[in-house]
Structure 1
Amino acid sequence: MDLLSSGDAGDLAAYLAAESSLAGPRTNQDLTEAFAKAVREFAAADPEDRRILRDLCVELACISPEDAPTDDPHEFLSVCGVRGIAAMGTVSPGCVKAALRKLAESADDPRWRIRDAAAIGLKDLLARHRDVTVSELNGWVEGGSWSAMRAVAAGVADADVLREPDLAEAALRLHRKILIRVYTAGERESEDFHALRKTLGCTLSRVVAAIPSSGFEYLQQVSTLDDQEIRWIVRENLKDNHLAGHYPETVRHIQAQIGER
Protein backbone atom coordinates (compact mmCIF):
# COMPACT_ATOMS: atom_id res chain seq x y z
CA MET A 1 0.00 0.00 0.00
CA ASP A 2 2.49 2.63 -1.19
CA LEU A 3 -0.32 5.16 -1.56
CA LEU A 4 -0.98 4.97 2.18
CA SER A 5 2.59 6.00 2.92
CA SER A 6 2.47 8.83 0.38
CA GLY A 7 -0.07 10.75 2.45
CA ASP A 8 -2.20 11.67 -0.57
CA ALA A 9 -5.73 10.85 0.54
CA GLY A 10 -7.24 11.80 -2.81
CA ASP A 11 -5.03 9.44 -4.79
CA LEU A 12 -5.63 6.68 -2.25
CA ALA A 13 -9.42 7.09 -2.45
CA ALA A 14 -9.33 7.08 -6.25
CA TYR A 15 -7.20 3.94 -6.28
CA LEU A 16 -9.43 2.09 -3.80
CA ALA A 17 -12.57 2.95 -5.75
CA ALA A 18 -11.00 1.95 -9.07
CA GLU A 19 -9.79 -1.38 -7.69
CA SER A 20 -12.90 -2.14 -5.62
CA SER A 21 -14.24 -4.79 -8.03
CA LEU A 22 -17.72 -3.42 -7.35
CA ALA A 23 -18.58 -3.63 -10.99
CA GLY A 24 -19.26 -7.23 -9.94
CA PRO A 25 -20.95 -8.83 -6.91
CA ARG A 26 -17.86 -9.09 -4.69
CA THR A 27 -15.46 -6.52 -3.36
CA ASN A 28 -11.71 -6.83 -3.74
CA GLN A 29 -11.12 -8.71 -0.49
CA ASP A 30 -7.37 -8.97 -1.03
CA LEU A 31 -7.16 -5.19 -1.24
CA THR A 32 -9.31 -4.79 1.87
CA GLU A 33 -6.98 -7.05 3.82
CA ALA A 34 -3.91 -5.28 2.43
CA PHE A 35 -5.31 -1.91 3.49
CA ALA A 36 -6.07 -3.10 7.03
CA LYS A 37 -2.64 -4.71 7.32
CA ALA A 38 -0.89 -1.56 6.11
CA VAL A 39 -2.81 0.61 8.59
CA ARG A 40 -1.88 -1.74 11.42
CA GLU A 41 1.78 -1.82 10.46
CA PHE A 42 2.12 1.95 10.02
CA ALA A 43 0.29 2.64 13.29
CA ALA A 44 2.45 0.16 15.20
CA ALA A 45 5.68 1.49 13.71
CA ASP A 46 5.15 5.18 14.45
CA PRO A 47 2.77 6.41 17.17
CA GLU A 48 2.88 9.89 15.63
CA ASP A 49 1.18 8.52 12.51
CA ARG A 50 -1.76 7.14 14.46
CA ARG A 51 -3.79 10.34 14.55
CA ILE A 52 -3.37 10.84 10.81
CA LEU A 53 -4.31 7.23 10.09
CA ARG A 54 -7.26 7.37 12.47
CA ASP A 55 -8.58 10.52 10.83
CA LEU A 56 -8.16 8.97 7.38
CA CYS A 57 -9.99 5.77 8.31
CA VAL A 58 -12.80 7.65 10.05
CA GLU A 59 -13.20 9.91 7.02
CA LEU A 60 -13.50 6.89 4.73
CA ALA A 61 -15.83 5.01 7.07
CA CYS A 62 -18.12 8.01 7.43
CA ILE A 63 -18.85 8.43 3.72
CA SER A 64 -22.64 8.47 3.70
CA PRO A 65 -24.92 5.99 1.96
CA GLU A 66 -26.11 8.87 -0.20
CA ASP A 67 -22.58 9.53 -1.45
CA ALA A 68 -21.59 5.87 -1.62
CA PRO A 69 -24.68 3.69 -2.04
CA THR A 70 -24.64 -0.09 -2.11
CA ASP A 71 -22.70 -1.50 -5.09
CA ASP A 72 -21.17 1.88 -5.93
CA PRO A 73 -17.34 1.67 -6.11
CA HIS A 74 -17.12 4.39 -3.48
CA GLU A 75 -18.85 2.08 -1.00
CA PHE A 76 -15.54 0.21 -0.94
CA LEU A 77 -13.92 3.26 0.64
CA SER A 78 -16.20 2.89 3.65
CA VAL A 79 -15.48 -0.83 3.85
CA CYS A 80 -11.76 -0.09 3.97
CA GLY A 81 -12.30 2.68 6.49
CA VAL A 82 -14.16 0.38 8.86
CA ARG A 83 -11.50 -2.31 8.56
CA GLY A 84 -8.83 0.33 9.09
CA ILE A 85 -10.52 1.55 12.27
CA ALA A 86 -10.47 -2.01 13.61
CA ALA A 87 -6.82 -2.37 12.59
CA MET A 88 -6.02 0.78 14.55
CA GLY A 89 -7.73 -0.76 17.56
CA THR A 90 -5.51 -3.82 17.44
CA VAL A 91 -2.35 -1.77 17.91
CA SER A 92 -2.76 -1.23 21.67
CA PRO A 93 -5.36 -1.84 24.40
CA GLY A 94 -5.83 1.91 24.72
CA CYS A 95 -7.13 2.10 21.15
CA VAL A 96 -9.74 -0.64 21.46
CA LYS A 97 -12.64 1.28 22.98
CA ALA A 98 -12.37 4.12 20.48
CA ALA A 99 -12.36 1.59 17.63
CA LEU A 100 -15.37 -0.23 19.07
CA ARG A 101 -17.37 3.00 19.28
CA LYS A 102 -16.87 3.52 15.56
CA LEU A 103 -17.58 -0.13 14.76
CA ALA A 104 -20.85 0.11 16.69
CA GLU A 105 -21.94 2.91 14.38
CA SER A 106 -20.93 0.89 11.33
CA ALA A 107 -22.85 -2.15 12.59
CA ASP A 108 -26.03 -0.07 12.18
CA ASP A 109 -25.18 1.16 8.68
CA PRO A 110 -27.92 0.49 6.09
CA ARG A 111 -25.34 -1.02 3.69
CA TRP A 112 -24.74 -4.71 4.28
CA ARG A 113 -21.07 -4.60 3.27
CA ILE A 114 -20.37 -1.98 5.92
CA ARG A 115 -22.16 -4.07 8.54
CA ASP A 116 -20.14 -7.12 7.52
CA ALA A 117 -16.92 -5.11 7.73
CA ALA A 118 -17.82 -4.19 11.30
CA ALA A 119 -18.28 -7.86 12.20
CA ILE A 120 -14.91 -8.75 10.67
CA GLY A 121 -13.38 -5.87 12.60
CA LEU A 122 -14.70 -7.36 15.83
CA LYS A 123 -12.96 -10.62 14.96
CA ASP A 124 -9.66 -8.75 14.54
CA LEU A 125 -10.04 -7.03 17.92
CA LEU A 126 -10.99 -10.26 19.69
CA ALA A 127 -7.86 -11.93 18.37
CA ARG A 128 -5.55 -9.29 19.85
CA HIS A 129 -7.32 -7.73 22.84
CA ARG A 130 -9.89 -10.25 23.97
CA ASP A 131 -10.69 -9.08 27.49
CA VAL A 132 -11.55 -5.46 26.78
CA THR A 133 -13.33 -6.40 23.54
CA VAL A 134 -15.51 -9.06 25.17
CA SER A 135 -16.36 -6.66 27.98
CA GLU A 136 -17.48 -4.01 25.51
CA LEU A 137 -19.45 -6.50 23.41
CA ASN A 138 -21.49 -7.43 26.46
CA GLY A 139 -22.71 -3.85 26.39
CA TRP A 140 -23.58 -4.14 22.70
CA VAL A 141 -25.75 -7.15 23.47
CA GLU A 142 -27.39 -5.84 26.62
CA GLY A 143 -28.35 -2.45 25.25
CA GLY A 144 -27.62 -2.48 21.55
CA SER A 145 -29.65 -2.77 18.39
CA TRP A 146 -30.49 -5.94 16.49
CA SER A 147 -27.79 -5.00 13.99
CA ALA A 148 -25.20 -4.60 16.74
CA MET A 149 -26.10 -8.03 18.09
CA ARG A 150 -25.83 -9.49 14.60
CA ALA A 151 -22.29 -8.11 14.33
CA VAL A 152 -21.41 -9.64 17.70
CA ALA A 153 -22.81 -13.06 16.76
CA ALA A 154 -20.97 -13.08 13.43
CA GLY A 155 -17.72 -11.76 14.88
CA VAL A 156 -17.43 -14.20 17.78
CA ALA A 157 -18.38 -17.18 15.61
CA ASP A 158 -15.32 -16.81 13.40
CA ALA A 159 -13.29 -20.01 13.16
CA ASP A 160 -10.03 -18.37 14.27
CA VAL A 161 -11.73 -16.83 17.30
CA LEU A 162 -13.32 -20.13 18.33
CA ARG A 163 -9.99 -21.96 18.35
CA GLU A 164 -9.24 -20.20 21.64
CA PRO A 165 -11.15 -21.99 24.45
CA ASP A 166 -11.66 -18.83 26.50
CA LEU A 167 -13.05 -16.98 23.50
CA ALA A 168 -15.29 -19.92 22.60
CA GLU A 169 -16.77 -19.80 26.10
CA ALA A 170 -17.24 -16.05 25.76
CA ALA A 171 -18.91 -16.60 22.39
CA LEU A 172 -21.40 -18.98 23.98
CA ARG A 173 -22.16 -16.52 26.78
CA LEU A 174 -22.76 -13.75 24.26
CA HIS A 175 -25.06 -15.99 22.20
CA ARG A 176 -26.99 -16.82 25.37
CA LYS A 177 -27.54 -13.13 26.04
CA ILE A 178 -28.55 -12.45 22.45
CA LEU A 179 -31.10 -15.27 22.52
CA ILE A 180 -32.52 -13.91 25.77
CA ARG A 181 -33.04 -10.61 23.96
CA VAL A 182 -34.73 -12.46 21.10
CA TYR A 183 -36.93 -14.48 23.48
CA THR A 184 -38.10 -11.42 25.40
CA ALA A 185 -38.49 -9.17 22.35
CA GLY A 186 -41.80 -7.50 21.66
CA GLU A 187 -40.71 -6.29 18.22
CA ARG A 188 -39.92 -9.08 15.77
CA GLU A 189 -41.04 -7.71 12.43
CA SER A 190 -38.20 -5.41 11.42
CA GLU A 191 -35.69 -6.17 8.71
CA ASP A 192 -32.89 -5.85 11.27
CA PHE A 193 -34.49 -8.47 13.51
CA HIS A 194 -34.81 -10.92 10.63
CA ALA A 195 -31.18 -10.32 9.64
CA LEU A 196 -30.13 -11.18 13.20
CA ARG A 197 -32.36 -14.27 13.18
CA LYS A 198 -30.78 -15.46 9.92
CA THR A 199 -27.27 -14.97 11.31
CA LEU A 200 -28.11 -16.83 14.53
CA GLY A 201 -29.37 -19.66 12.34
CA CYS A 202 -25.77 -20.53 11.50
CA THR A 203 -23.47 -19.00 14.12
CA LEU A 204 -24.68 -20.93 17.14
CA SER A 205 -23.71 -24.28 15.61
CA ARG A 206 -20.12 -23.10 15.14
CA VAL A 207 -19.92 -22.07 18.78
CA VAL A 208 -21.46 -25.35 19.99
CA ALA A 209 -19.05 -27.36 17.84
CA ALA A 210 -16.12 -25.50 19.41
CA ILE A 211 -17.20 -26.40 22.96
CA PRO A 212 -19.60 -29.33 22.51
CA SER A 213 -20.07 -30.23 26.17
CA SER A 214 -21.42 -26.89 27.40
CA GLY A 215 -22.66 -26.00 23.93
CA PHE A 216 -25.00 -28.97 23.56
CA GLU A 217 -26.16 -28.56 27.14
CA TYR A 218 -27.28 -25.06 26.22
CA LEU A 219 -28.89 -26.19 22.96
CA GLN A 220 -30.92 -28.78 24.85
CA GLN A 221 -32.06 -26.16 27.34
CA VAL A 222 -33.08 -23.59 24.75
CA SER A 223 -34.83 -26.20 22.59
CA THR A 224 -37.47 -26.62 25.32
CA LEU A 225 -38.64 -23.01 24.99
CA ASP A 226 -42.08 -22.60 23.46
CA ASP A 227 -41.05 -19.87 21.06
CA GLN A 228 -41.20 -20.18 17.28
CA GLU A 229 -38.22 -17.93 16.59
CA ILE A 230 -35.97 -19.72 19.08
CA ARG A 231 -37.05 -23.10 17.74
CA TRP A 232 -36.34 -22.00 14.18
CA ILE A 233 -32.83 -20.94 15.22
CA VAL A 234 -32.25 -24.29 16.95
CA ARG A 235 -33.56 -26.27 13.96
CA GLU A 236 -31.36 -24.40 11.50
CA ASN A 237 -28.24 -24.94 13.57
CA LEU A 238 -28.95 -28.65 13.98
CA LYS A 239 -28.84 -28.97 10.18
CA ASP A 240 -25.29 -27.63 10.07
CA ASN A 241 -22.64 -30.25 9.35
CA HIS A 242 -20.59 -28.84 12.23
CA LEU A 243 -23.14 -30.61 14.43
CA ALA A 244 -25.14 -33.08 12.33
CA GLY A 245 -22.04 -34.55 10.73
CA HIS A 246 -20.07 -35.01 13.94
CA TYR A 247 -22.68 -35.50 16.67
CA PRO A 248 -25.59 -37.24 14.91
CA GLU A 249 -27.07 -38.98 17.98
CA THR A 250 -27.10 -35.82 20.07
CA VAL A 251 -28.60 -33.88 17.18
CA ARG A 252 -31.37 -36.46 16.72
CA HIS A 253 -32.14 -36.29 20.44
CA ILE A 254 -32.58 -32.51 20.35
CA GLN A 255 -34.59 -32.72 17.13
CA ALA A 256 -36.94 -35.12 18.90
CA GLN A 257 -37.31 -32.60 21.73
CA ILE A 258 -38.57 -29.96 19.32
CA GLY A 259 -40.75 -32.41 17.43
CA GLU A 260 -38.62 -32.77 14.33
CA ARG A 261 -37.17 -35.97 12.93
Structure 2
Amino acid sequence: MRVLDAAQWPGYLREHSGLPGPRANIELAQAVADEGDQDCFDGFITTGDEYLVFCGVVGLGRLLAEGGEVEQRLRGHAADARWRVREAVALALQRLGDGDPLRLFDLVLDWADDENPLVQRAAAAGVCEPRLLSTSDAVECAIEVCSRSTKALAARPPDERRSTEVRALRQALGYCWSVAVAADPAIGLPAFQALAASADPDVTWLVRENSKKTRLAKLL
Protein backbone atom coordinates (compact mmCIF):
# COMPACT_ATOMS: atom_id res chain seq x y z
CA MET A 1 0.00 0.00 0.00
CA ARG A 2 2.86 2.38 0.75
CA VAL A 3 3.98 2.50 -2.89
CA LEU A 4 0.56 3.63 -4.12
CA ASP A 5 -0.89 7.11 -4.07
CA ALA A 6 -3.95 7.38 -1.87
CA ALA A 7 -6.09 7.99 -4.96
CA GLN A 8 -5.09 4.55 -6.25
CA TRP A 9 -6.12 2.69 -3.12
CA PRO A 10 -9.82 2.16 -3.89
CA GLY A 11 -9.16 0.57 -7.27
CA TYR A 12 -6.37 -1.59 -5.90
CA LEU A 13 -8.52 -2.75 -2.99
CA ARG A 14 -11.45 -3.64 -5.22
CA GLU A 15 -9.14 -5.60 -7.50
CA HIS A 16 -7.56 -7.55 -4.66
CA SER A 17 -10.56 -7.83 -2.34
CA GLY A 18 -11.16 -11.51 -3.00
CA LEU A 19 -14.80 -10.67 -3.72
CA PRO A 20 -17.02 -11.98 -5.01
CA GLY A 21 -15.91 -15.12 -3.25
CA PRO A 22 -16.20 -16.95 0.04
CA ARG A 23 -13.44 -15.03 1.81
CA ALA A 24 -12.57 -11.37 1.73
CA ASN A 25 -8.89 -10.42 1.78
CA ILE A 26 -8.54 -9.82 5.52
CA GLU A 27 -4.76 -9.41 5.39
CA LEU A 28 -5.07 -6.54 2.92
CA ALA A 29 -7.70 -4.87 5.09
CA GLN A 30 -5.36 -5.09 8.07
CA ALA A 31 -2.61 -3.47 6.00
CA VAL A 32 -4.99 -0.64 5.11
CA ALA A 33 -5.77 -0.21 8.81
CA ASP A 34 -2.06 0.07 9.54
CA GLU A 35 -1.31 2.59 6.80
CA GLY A 36 -4.45 4.69 6.48
CA ASP A 37 -5.78 7.63 8.48
CA GLN A 38 -9.22 8.73 9.61
CA ASP A 39 -10.00 10.61 6.40
CA CYS A 40 -9.11 7.50 4.44
CA PHE A 41 -11.28 5.24 6.59
CA ASP A 42 -14.18 7.67 6.53
CA GLY A 43 -13.96 7.93 2.77
CA PHE A 44 -14.03 4.16 2.33
CA ILE A 45 -17.03 3.82 4.62
CA THR A 46 -19.03 6.44 2.74
CA THR A 47 -18.58 4.65 -0.60
CA GLY A 48 -21.00 1.90 0.34
CA ASP A 49 -18.73 -0.61 -1.44
CA GLU A 50 -18.76 -3.67 0.82
CA TYR A 51 -15.03 -4.33 0.80
CA LEU A 52 -14.04 -0.68 1.13
CA VAL A 53 -16.45 -0.33 4.05
CA PHE A 54 -14.90 -3.48 5.52
CA CYS A 55 -11.43 -1.91 5.30
CA GLY A 56 -12.64 1.38 6.75
CA VAL A 57 -14.30 -0.26 9.73
CA VAL A 58 -11.21 -2.35 10.52
CA GLY A 59 -9.31 0.93 10.34
CA LEU A 60 -11.58 2.42 12.97
CA GLY A 61 -10.26 -0.30 15.25
CA ARG A 62 -6.78 1.15 14.99
CA LEU A 63 -8.11 4.60 15.82
CA LEU A 64 -9.96 3.12 18.80
CA ALA A 65 -6.76 1.45 20.02
CA GLU A 66 -4.98 4.79 19.72
CA GLY A 67 -7.59 6.47 21.91
CA GLY A 68 -9.92 7.73 19.21
CA GLU A 69 -13.56 8.39 20.09
CA VAL A 70 -15.07 5.98 17.57
CA GLU A 71 -16.77 3.45 19.85
CA GLN A 72 -20.28 4.63 19.03
CA ARG A 73 -19.53 4.45 15.32
CA LEU A 74 -18.35 0.88 15.71
CA ARG A 75 -21.44 0.02 17.72
CA GLY A 76 -23.52 1.31 14.85
CA HIS A 77 -21.57 -0.73 12.31
CA ALA A 78 -22.04 -3.82 14.50
CA ALA A 79 -25.72 -3.73 13.51
CA ASP A 80 -25.02 -3.43 9.77
CA ALA A 81 -27.11 -5.68 7.53
CA ARG A 82 -23.94 -6.88 5.77
CA TRP A 83 -22.27 -9.72 7.64
CA ARG A 84 -18.79 -8.79 6.39
CA VAL A 85 -19.14 -5.32 7.87
CA ARG A 86 -20.21 -6.88 11.16
CA GLU A 87 -17.14 -9.10 11.01
CA ALA A 88 -14.99 -6.01 10.46
CA VAL A 89 -16.28 -4.69 13.79
CA ALA A 90 -15.08 -7.85 15.54
CA LEU A 91 -11.65 -7.41 13.95
CA ALA A 92 -11.64 -3.77 15.02
CA LEU A 93 -12.39 -4.75 18.62
CA GLN A 94 -9.58 -7.29 18.52
CA ARG A 95 -7.18 -4.52 17.54
CA LEU A 96 -8.22 -2.70 20.68
CA GLY A 97 -7.65 -5.89 22.67
CA ASP A 98 -4.13 -6.22 21.33
CA GLY A 99 -3.19 -2.79 22.64
CA ASP A 100 -5.51 -2.10 25.56
CA PRO A 101 -7.18 -5.26 26.85
CA LEU A 102 -8.74 -3.61 29.90
CA ARG A 103 -10.52 -1.10 27.70
CA LEU A 104 -11.73 -3.94 25.50
CA PHE A 105 -13.12 -5.78 28.52
CA ASP A 106 -15.09 -2.72 29.62
CA LEU A 107 -16.41 -2.18 26.11
CA VAL A 108 -17.56 -5.73 25.39
CA LEU A 109 -19.22 -6.09 28.80
CA ASP A 110 -21.18 -2.93 28.04
CA TRP A 111 -22.08 -4.14 24.54
CA ALA A 112 -23.19 -7.51 25.92
CA ASP A 113 -26.00 -5.67 27.70
CA ASP A 114 -27.17 -3.89 24.55
CA GLU A 115 -30.71 -4.71 23.42
CA ASN A 116 -29.56 -5.27 19.84
CA PRO A 117 -28.52 -8.92 19.33
CA LEU A 118 -26.03 -7.88 16.66
CA VAL A 119 -24.20 -5.65 19.13
CA GLN A 120 -24.14 -8.57 21.55
CA ARG A 121 -22.82 -10.73 18.74
CA ALA A 122 -19.99 -8.26 18.07
CA ALA A 123 -19.02 -8.26 21.75
CA ALA A 124 -18.76 -12.05 21.85
CA ALA A 125 -16.94 -12.37 18.52
CA GLY A 126 -14.61 -9.53 19.43
CA VAL A 127 -13.37 -10.91 22.74
CA CYS A 128 -13.54 -14.65 21.96
CA GLU A 129 -10.31 -14.66 19.99
CA PRO A 130 -7.61 -17.13 21.15
CA ARG A 131 -4.73 -14.65 21.02
CA LEU A 132 -6.59 -12.31 23.38
CA LEU A 133 -7.42 -14.99 25.97
CA SER A 134 -3.99 -15.39 27.55
CA THR A 135 -4.92 -14.24 31.05
CA SER A 136 -7.54 -15.29 33.57
CA ASP A 137 -9.06 -11.79 33.46
CA ALA A 138 -9.52 -12.09 29.71
CA VAL A 139 -11.13 -15.52 29.97
CA GLU A 140 -13.42 -14.38 32.77
CA CYS A 141 -14.52 -11.45 30.62
CA ALA A 142 -15.17 -13.68 27.59
CA ILE A 143 -17.20 -16.14 29.68
CA GLU A 144 -19.21 -13.29 31.18
CA VAL A 145 -19.95 -11.85 27.74
CA CYS A 146 -21.06 -15.27 26.50
CA SER A 147 -23.16 -15.81 29.62
CA ARG A 148 -24.93 -12.46 29.39
CA SER A 149 -25.59 -12.89 25.68
CA THR A 150 -26.88 -16.43 26.19
CA LYS A 151 -29.18 -15.28 28.98
CA ALA A 152 -30.51 -12.51 26.74
CA LEU A 153 -31.05 -15.01 23.92
CA ALA A 154 -33.03 -17.33 26.19
CA ALA A 155 -35.17 -14.41 27.37
CA ARG A 156 -36.31 -13.45 23.87
CA PRO A 157 -39.83 -14.46 22.84
CA PRO A 158 -40.12 -17.16 20.15
CA ASP A 159 -41.21 -14.76 17.39
CA GLU A 160 -38.05 -12.65 17.82
CA ARG A 161 -35.78 -15.68 17.58
CA ARG A 162 -36.64 -16.23 13.95
CA SER A 163 -35.15 -12.86 12.99
CA THR A 164 -31.87 -12.70 11.08
CA GLU A 165 -30.31 -10.65 13.87
CA VAL A 166 -31.06 -13.13 16.65
CA ARG A 167 -30.01 -16.05 14.48
CA ALA A 168 -26.66 -14.31 13.90
CA LEU A 169 -26.16 -14.01 17.66
CA ARG A 170 -27.03 -17.65 18.17
CA GLN A 171 -24.60 -18.68 15.44
CA ALA A 172 -21.79 -16.73 17.09
CA LEU A 173 -22.51 -18.22 20.49
CA GLY A 174 -22.40 -21.61 18.79
CA TYR A 175 -18.60 -21.30 18.64
CA CYS A 176 -17.62 -18.45 20.99
CA TRP A 177 -18.27 -20.51 24.10
CA SER A 178 -15.83 -23.19 22.95
CA VAL A 179 -13.09 -20.62 22.29
CA ALA A 180 -13.47 -19.07 25.72
CA VAL A 181 -13.73 -22.38 27.61
CA ALA A 182 -10.75 -23.93 25.82
CA ALA A 183 -8.57 -20.95 26.78
CA ASP A 184 -8.94 -21.82 30.48
CA PRO A 185 -11.18 -24.81 31.27
CA ALA A 186 -10.93 -24.27 35.01
CA ILE A 187 -12.69 -20.95 34.59
CA GLY A 188 -14.95 -21.72 31.66
CA LEU A 189 -16.14 -25.30 32.01
CA PRO A 190 -18.37 -24.83 35.06
CA ALA A 191 -20.28 -22.00 33.37
CA PHE A 192 -20.61 -23.93 30.14
CA GLN A 193 -21.66 -27.18 31.78
CA ALA A 194 -24.33 -25.32 33.75
CA LEU A 195 -26.02 -24.53 30.44
CA ALA A 196 -26.83 -28.22 29.98
CA ALA A 197 -29.57 -27.88 32.60
CA SER A 198 -31.48 -25.43 30.43
CA ALA A 199 -34.59 -26.61 28.63
CA ASP A 200 -34.44 -23.68 26.22
CA PRO A 201 -34.09 -25.04 22.66
CA ASP A 202 -31.58 -22.41 21.54
CA VAL A 203 -29.39 -22.92 24.59
CA THR A 204 -29.55 -26.66 24.01
CA TRP A 205 -28.50 -26.05 20.40
CA LEU A 206 -25.49 -23.92 21.29
CA VAL A 207 -24.34 -26.44 23.93
CA ARG A 208 -24.49 -29.16 21.29
CA GLU A 209 -22.70 -27.07 18.65
CA ASN A 210 -19.88 -26.00 20.95
CA SER A 211 -19.45 -29.55 22.23
CA LYS A 212 -18.72 -30.65 18.66
CA LYS A 213 -15.73 -28.33 18.40
CA THR A 214 -12.47 -30.25 18.76
CA ARG A 215 -11.00 -27.66 21.14
CA LEU A 216 -13.86 -28.30 23.56
CA ALA A 217 -14.80 -31.92 22.83
CA LYS A 218 -11.45 -33.15 24.20
CA LEU A 219 -12.19 -31.44 27.51
CA LEU A 220 -15.62 -32.92 28.06
Provide TM-score, normalisation by structure 2.
0.91
- Unpaired runs of 5+ residues, structure 1, are 40-52, 69-74, 252-261
1:55 corresponds to 2:39: yes
Counterpart residue identity of residue 126, structure 1: G
Question: In the TM superposition, what is the alpha-carbon distance from 1:229 to its structure 2 partner?
Answer: 0.7
Helix, strand or coil at the partner of 1:126: helix
Corresponding residue for residue 26 of structure 1: 23
Does the C-alpha gap of structure 1 residues 56 and 200 become closer, same or farther in structure 2, counting only changes over 3 Å? same
Counterpart residue identity of residue 16, structure 2: E
Corresponding residue for residue 213 of structure 1: 186
Q: Structure 1 stretches (4+) deviating beyond 3 angstroms?
A: none
Counterpart residue identity of residue 17, structure 1: R
- Cα deviation code 1:23-54 (max 9, x no counterpart): 43322223112112223xxxxxxxxxxxxx21
How does 1:128-147 map onto structure 2 within 5 Å? 128-147=99-118
Does the C-alpha gap of structure 1 residues 19 and 137 become closer, same or farther in structure 2, counting only changes over 3 Å? same
How does 1:83-122 map onto structure 2 within 5 Å? 83-91=58-66, 94-95=67-68, 98-122=69-93
The structure 2 residue matched to 1:172, chosen from 140, 143, 147, is 143
Cα RMSD after superposing both structures = 1.7
The structure 1 residue matched to 2:175, chosen from 170, 195, 202, is 202
Counterpart residue identity of residue 30, structure 1: E
1:161 corresponds to 2:129: no
Corresponding residue for residue 2 of structure 2: 2
Report percent identity of matched pairs: 31
8 Å CA contact 1:3–1:12 kept in 2: the answer is no
Counterpart residue identity of residue 126, structure 2: G
- Unpaired runs of 5+ residues, structure 2, are none
Counterpart residue identity of residue 208, structure 1: V
8 Å CA contact 2:80–2:86 kept in 1: the answer is yes
> Partners of 1:165 and 1:128 in 2: how far apart?
17
The structure 2 residue matched to 1:17, chosen from 14, 19, 23, is 14
8 Å CA contact 2:108–2:124 kept in 1: the answer is no
8 Å CA contact 2:2–2:35 kept in 1: the answer is no
Question: In the TM superposition, what is the alpha-carbon distance from 1:185 to its structure 2 partner?
Answer: 1.3
Provide TM-score, normalisation by structure 1.
0.78
8 Å CA contact 1:149–1:178 kept in 2: the answer is yes
Corresponding residue for residue 235 of structure 1: 208
> Partners of 1:23 and 1:153 in 2: how far apart?
27
8 Å CA contact 1:3–1:11 kept in 2: the answer is no
Does the C-alpha gap of structure 1 residues 243 and 25 become closer, same or farther in structure 2, counting only changes over 3 Å? closer
8 Å CA contact 2:33–2:58 kept in 1: the answer is yes
Counterpart residue identity of residue 166, structure 1: D
